[in-house]
Amino acid sequence: MQAIDRPNFRQKAERFLGQWGVFFRGFVEHPRMVGSVIPSSRFTIDKMLAPVDWANCKLFVEYGPGVGTFCQPVLDRLPRDGALIVIDTNPLYIDYLKKHYRDSRFHAVLGSAADVEEIVRAHGHDHADFVLSGLPFSTLPEGVGPEIAAATYRVIRPGGAFLVYQFSAKARSYMARHFERIDNGFEALNIPPCQLFWGWKEPAA
Rounded to an integer, what distance in angstroms lies between the CA atom of residue 110 and that of residue 94? 6
Query: Which pLDDT score, from 0 to 100, does residue 13 have?
Result: 47
Rounded to an integer, what distance in angstroms lies between the CA atom of residue 84 and that of residue 82? 7
Burial of 62 (0-12, 13-18, 19+ CB in 10 A): buried
Of 173, 164, 162, nearest to 200 (Cα)? 162
The one-letter code for the residue type at 38 is I
Of 193, 199, 197, nearest to 36 (Cα)? 193
Query: Which pLDDT score, from 0 to 100, does residue 38 have?
Result: 67
State the pTM of this model: 0.84
Grouping H, G, I as helix, E, B as strand and the rest as coil, residue 192 is coil
- Cα-Cα-Cα-Cα torsion 81, 70, 174, 85, nearest 10 degrees, comes to -40
Rounded to an integer, what distance in angstroms lies between the CA atom of residue 21 and that of residue 4? 24
Per-residue pLDDT of the chain (205 residues; tens, 9 = 90+): 444 444 455 544 444 445 555 555 555 555 455 445 567 899 999 999 999 999 999 999 999 998 899 999 999 999 999 999 999 999 988 999 999 899 999 999 999 999 999 999 999 999 999 999 999 888 888 999 999 999 999 999 999 999 999 988 889 999 999 999 999 999 999 988 999 999 999 987 6
DSSP state of 86: E
The one-letter code for the residue type at 129 is D
String of DSSP letters for 87-108: EES-HHHHHHHHHH---TTEEE
Residues 184 and 48: beta-carbon distance below 8 Å: no
Count CB atoms within 10 A of the CB of residue 8.
Answer: 9
| End-to-end Cα separation, the chain, in angstroms | 77
Count CB atoms within 10 A of the CB of residue 104.
Answer: 8
Sign of CA dihedral 82, 136, 111, 183: positive
- What's the length of the chain? 205
